[in-house]
């Protein structure tokens, strides 16, 4: 592991103590139960502000593949299926258009903090070259629509439609897809790409429902109220006292924009994020070598190698993510193998302390009021929370119209009243309250219980998994649920560049469909293949305990309770996982195919 800040001072014992104290201030006994879903009486927070659903008759027809979700996962599945020659592909999406998270998140300042030339998929295929190193959300959303147009995915798409049940018709060997628009159509295959952080969540603060001012969640920005666009100019806020709850990756992007436009901004912070250098800039095709064929694939693979802890001749992206790869992918065997465990941990801690000291100094160097600067300093290890990046965030706190209200001692905001927010007994009067409080983790789609999946013999997926945990082959397919392919992080590999991971999953799912079509087969791995996969995941599973013991709570560690039980992802990282999938397709794909018994519809 490289340590660019070898000489930065740190005292491990003092840091441990401080980290533990800060964690104890924040851990709540109610853990994840502290949050509320944005549904039922809070459904207003999740309603689509961008598109009025179009009237249409319910569908009873049949398609080859139903793809659930129209974000990058679903779009990539559709595109890769088209490349395999599949004709009837129907993407079903809750939003009014393609884009997924980039459809919903249009808040002021929205950008992707992964370099656009590696984050935006299918640049080689669409001939598009992003204009910024870190692209604004609108450019990303338009690229999602570009891929959908290129691969004719609008043709059969259903928007403003949520899938409510999937039922395997054993006699016909097809899925019946039911939706909240009354559809009940058939699909030979189903690919689920429902995302991981999609359903907005609210803090379970007493009195939220009593607030008489205006309120919304960042993923449903109300420009009708604020005025302006994602680039700012929110003239509607010029005479408003605005409060924002949450200083995660979203809050960090929104807060400087609100600071610019609101009469006064109150930032209610519970845990400060790490906020590293952004250095965004316009880029040209020449900057990224976009005149060469395959340039985007090469750049993306280079990035994935570095952030996955594999060696690479050069660092093409060269940003804060790649510089901190050793800290982020701390638990990969490729890093852990460097020396014995004690030596690894102490080298890791030295590098981590140096990085965190650097980030704490950044606050001191920028924020002029020492008390405010002190509150903004993060006290935990770098990878405990999602790193963030901004050159505008800290300067916003030097403005006269911005007040930082630290809520760590009271475990967050105490109460909302008709006229504002109460922290530590003080009421802050507000006209508008914005929730940048993030999303429920893993609560959408087929793992949520909200979308029941009935497979062979009527077995329900979550019931089947209830006793011994999820069982899959490569995270994508499972026994008892034929022709169902699940995209997402479950039991495969993840990465900070999640669109890359999704693309590899899409390639795999499309290859399975093509092979099944060619063989007249159904896709269904035998139980033995699942057993072998679970054993592979467990064999070299990293020990997270020493790391999480001092981590501040958040969605990375189930609000302070450590990692979920059971095998996690593939322990050797995304690059090795993609290699494994490719080899399996070339040599062993037959093990997941069994002959069809019913004729193909
Ligand atoms: P997060 O879950 O990361 O942050 C939620 C924030 O709300 C935290 O600061 C949290 O504090 C705070 N909060 C929650 N409850 C309370 C309460 N009762 N009182 C006070 N504060 C409270 O959500 P985000 O939307 O910021 O980010 C979610 C994810 O979306 C990111 O982690 C990232 O993966 C992705 N994202 C990616 C971006 C990109 O550029 N690629 C941009 C934006 C988001 P605490 O930390 O104490 O829990």
Whether the CB of 70 sits within 6 Å of ligand 1 = no
**What is residue 10's three-state secondary structure?**
coil
Q: pLDDT class for 508, splitting at 50, 70, 90?
A: very high
Whether the CB of 196 sits within 6 Å of ligand 1 = no
Q: What pLDDT, in 10s, does the model give residues 592-601?
A: 999 999 888 7
- Domain limits of the chain? 12-37+201-278+342-435, 62-199+441-525+590-595, 290-336
* Cα distances (angstroms) measured from residue 178 to each of 153, 162, 454: 20, 9, 12
CB 130 within 8 A of CB 66: no
What is the rounded CA–CA span in Å between residue 77 and residue 90? 11
Average pLDDT over residues 404-432: 94
Whether the CB of 268 sits within 6 Å of ligand 1 = yes
pLDDT tops 80 at residue 329: no
Whether the CB of 252 sits within 6 Å of ligand 1 = no
Q: pLDDT class for 9, splitting at 50, 70, 90?
A: low
What is the rounded CA–CA span in Å between residue 20 and residue 512? 48
Average pLDDT over residues 101-107: 98
Phi, psi dihedrals of residue 422, rounded to the nearest 5° = -110, 130
Whether the CB of 205 sits within 6 Å of ligand 1 = yes
The minimum-distance atom of ligand 1 relative to the CA of 408 is 47
CB 137 within 8 A of CB 112: yes
What is the rounded CA–CA span in Å between residue 234 and residue 388? 24
| % of the chain exceeding 70 in pLDDT | 95
Whether the CB of 413 sits within 6 Å of ligand 1 = yes
Ligand 1 center from residue 45 Cα (angstroms): 16
Q: What pLDDT, in 10s, does the model give residues 570-592?
A: 988 999 999 999 999 999 999 99
| Residue nearest atom 19 in ligand 1 by C-alpha distance | 412
User: Which pLDDT score, from 0 to 100, does residue 330 have?
Assistant: 66
Nearest to 407 by CA among 550, 261, 213, 251: 251
**What is residue 409's three-state secondary structure?**
helix
Phi, psi dihedrals of residue 324, rounded to the nearest 5° = -105, 15
Strand partners, 405: 268
CATH number for domain 12-37+201-278+342-435, candidates 3.50.50.60, 3.10.129.10, 3.20.20.70, 3.40.50.11740: 3.50.50.60
CB 78 within 8 A of CB 102: no
pLDDT tops 80 at residue 560: no
Q: pLDDT class for 568, splitting at 50, 70, 90?
A: confident
Whether the CB of 179 sits within 6 Å of ligand 1 = no
Whether the CB of 386 sits within 6 Å of ligand 1 = yes
Whether the CB of 249 sits within 6 Å of ligand 1 = yes
Count Cα neighbours of 161 within 13 Å in the Cβ-side half-sphere: 29
Return the CATH class of domain 62-199+441-525+590-595.
Answer: alpha beta
Residues near 198 by beta carbon (within 8 Å), at least 6 away in sequence:
100, 101, 104, 439, 444
**What is residue 492's three-state secondary structure?**
coil
Q: What pLDDT, in 10s, does the model give residues 245-281?
A: 999 999 999 999 999 999 999 999 999 999 999 999 9
Nearest to 596 by CA among 300, 169, 277: 169
What is the rounded CA–CA span in Å between residue 552 and residue 380? 6
User: Which pLDDT score, from 0 to 100, does residue 443 have?
Assistant: 54
Strand partners, 404: 267
Count Cα neighbours of 457 within 13 Å in the Cβ-side half-sphere: 6
User: Which pLDDT score, from 0 to 100, does residue 40 have?
Assistant: 79
The minimum-distance atom of ligand 1 relative to the CA of 438 is 23
If one residue of 437, 555, 557, 559 were mutated to test the ligand 1 pocket, choosing by the most ligand atoms within 8 A of its CB, it would be: 437
* Cα distances (angstroms) measured from residue 73 to each of 99, 114, 191, 485, 542: 10, 17, 10, 12, 27
* Cα distances (angstroms) measured from residue 521 to each of 170, 471, 484, 598: 14, 22, 13, 10
CB 11 within 8 A of CB 354: no
pLDDT tops 80 at residue 476: yes
Mean pLDDT rounded to a whole number for the chain:
92
Ligand 1 center from residue 250 Cα (angstroms): 6
Whether the CB of 317 sits within 6 Å of ligand 1 = no
Q: How far is CA 435 from the centre of its chain?
A: 18
User: Which pLDDT score, from 0 to 100, does residue 564 have?
Assistant: 56
Do the bridges between strand 184-192 and strand 62-68 make them parallel or antiparallel, or are there none, so unpaired?
A: parallel
Kind and range of the H or E element at 351?
helix 341-366
Ligand 1 center from residue 252 Cα (angstroms): 9
pLDDT tops 50 at residue 23: yes
Ligand 1 center from residue 536 Cα (angstroms): 33
Kind and range of the H or E element at 178?
strand 174-179
| Residue nearest atom 46 in ligand 1 by C-alpha distance | 271
CB 77 within 8 A of CB 501: no
First to last CA, the chain: 55
Whether the CB of 257 sits within 6 Å of ligand 1 = no
C-alpha dihedral sign at 485, 487, 333, 587: positive
The minimum-distance atom of ligand 1 relative to the CA of 112 is 40
If one residue of 107, 111, 116, 249 were mutated to test the ligand 1 pocket, choosing by the most ligand atoms within 8 A of its CB, it would be: 249
Of 39-48, 80-89, 135-144, 256-265, the one with minimum mean pLDDT is 39-48
Q: How far is CA 404 from the centre of its chain?
A: 27
Choice between 489 and 510, residue whose per-residue pLDDT is larger? 510
The minimum-distance atom of ligand 1 relative to the CA of 412 is 19
Kind and range of the H or E element at 386?
none
Q: What pLDDT, in 10s, does the model give residues 364-408?
A: 999 999 999 999 999 999 999 999 999 999 999 999 999 999 999
What is the rounded CA–CA span in Å between residue 536 and residue 559? 28
- The reply to whether 62-199+441-525+590-595 shares the fold of 12-37+201-278+342-435 is yes
What is the rounded CA–CA span in Å between residue 218 and residue 387? 19
The minimum-distance atom of ligand 1 relative to the CA of 268 is 20
The minimum-distance atom of ligand 1 relative to the CA of 270 is 47
Residue with tokens 């900057």: 287
pLDDT tops 60 at residue 3: no
Do the bridges between strand 214-217 and strand 163-169 make them parallel or antiparallel, or are there none, so unpaired?
A: unpaired
What is the rounded CA–CA span in Å between residue 333 and residue 546? 15
Ligand 1 center from residue 58 Cα (angstroms): 37
| Residue nearest atom 30 in ligand 1 by C-alpha distance | 249
């Amino acid at each position: 592991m490289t340590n660019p800040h070898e000489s930065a001072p740190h005292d491990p014992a003092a840091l441990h103590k401080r980290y533990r104290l800060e964690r104890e201030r924040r851990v709540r006994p109610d853990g994840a139960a502290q949050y509320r879903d944005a549904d039922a009486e809070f459904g207003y927070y999740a309603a689509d502000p961008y598109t009025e659903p179009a009237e249409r008759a319910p569908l009873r027809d049949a398609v080859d593949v139903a793809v659930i979700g129209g974000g990058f996962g679903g779009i990539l599945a559709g595109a890769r299926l088209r490349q395999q020659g599949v004709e009837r592909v129907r993407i079903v999406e809750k939003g009014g258009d393609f884009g997924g998270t980039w459809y919903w998140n249009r808040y002021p300042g929205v950008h992707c903090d992964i370099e656009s030339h590696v984050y935006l998929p299918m640049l080689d295929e669409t001939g598009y070259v992003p204009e910024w190193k870190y692209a604004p959300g609108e450019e990303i959303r338009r690229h999602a629509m570009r891929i959908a147009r290129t691969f004719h995915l609008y043709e059969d798409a259903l928007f403003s439609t949520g899938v409510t049940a999937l039922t395997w018709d054993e006699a016909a060997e097809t899925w019946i897809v039911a939706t909240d628009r009354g559809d009940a159509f058939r699909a030979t295959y189903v690919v689920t790409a429902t995302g991981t952080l999609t359903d907005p969540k609210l803090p379970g603060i007493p009195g939220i429902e009593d607030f008489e001012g205006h309120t919304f969640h960042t993923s449903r920005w109300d420009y009708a109220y604020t005025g302006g666009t994602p680039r700012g100019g929110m003239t509607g806020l010029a005479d408003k006292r605005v409060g924002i709850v949450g200083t995660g990756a979203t809050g960090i992007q929104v807060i400087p924009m609100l600071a610019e436009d609101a009469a006064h901004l109150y930032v209610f912070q519970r845990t400060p994020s790490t906020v590293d250098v952004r250095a965004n800039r316009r880029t040209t095709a020449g900057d990224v070598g976009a005149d060469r064929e395959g340039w985007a694939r090469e750049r993306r693979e280079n990035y994935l190698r570095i952030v996955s802890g594999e060696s690479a001749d050069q660092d093409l992206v060269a940003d804060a993510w790649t510089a901190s790869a050793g800290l982020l992918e701390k638990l990969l065997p490729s890093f852990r193998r460097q020396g014995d465990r004690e030596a690894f941990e102490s080298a890791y801690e030295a590098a981590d302390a140096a990085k965190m000291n650097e980030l704490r100094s950044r606050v001191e160097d920028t924020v002029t009021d020492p008390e405010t600067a002190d509150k903004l300093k993060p006290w935990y290890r770098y990878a405990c929370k999602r790193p963030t990046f901004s050159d505008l965030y800290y300067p916003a706190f030097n403005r006269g119209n911005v007040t930082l209200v630290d809520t760590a001692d009271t475990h967050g905001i105490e109460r909302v009243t008709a006229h504002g927010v109460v922290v530590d007994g003080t009421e802050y009067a507000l006209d508008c309250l914005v929730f940048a409080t993030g999303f429920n983790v893993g609560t959408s789609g087929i793992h949520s219980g909200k979308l029941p999946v009935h497979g062979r013999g009527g077995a329900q997926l979550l019931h089947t998994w209830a006793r011994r945990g999820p069982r899959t082959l490569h995270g994508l397919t499972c026994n008892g649920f034929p022709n169902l392919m699940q995209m997402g992080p479950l039991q495969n590999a993840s990465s900070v560049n999640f669109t890359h991971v999704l693309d590899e999953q899409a390639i795999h799912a499309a290859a399975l469909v093509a092979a099944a079509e060619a063989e007249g087969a159904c896709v269904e791995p035998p139980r033995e293949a699942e057993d072998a996969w679970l054993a592979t995941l467990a064999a070299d599973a990293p020990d997270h305990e020493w790391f999480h013991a001092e981590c501040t709570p958040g969605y990375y560690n189930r609000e302070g309770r450590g990692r979920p039980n059971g095998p996690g992802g593939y322990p050797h990282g995304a690059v090795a996982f993609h290699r494994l999938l490719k080899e399996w397709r070339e040599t062993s794909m037959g093990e997941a195919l069994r002959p069809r018994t019913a004729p193909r519809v």
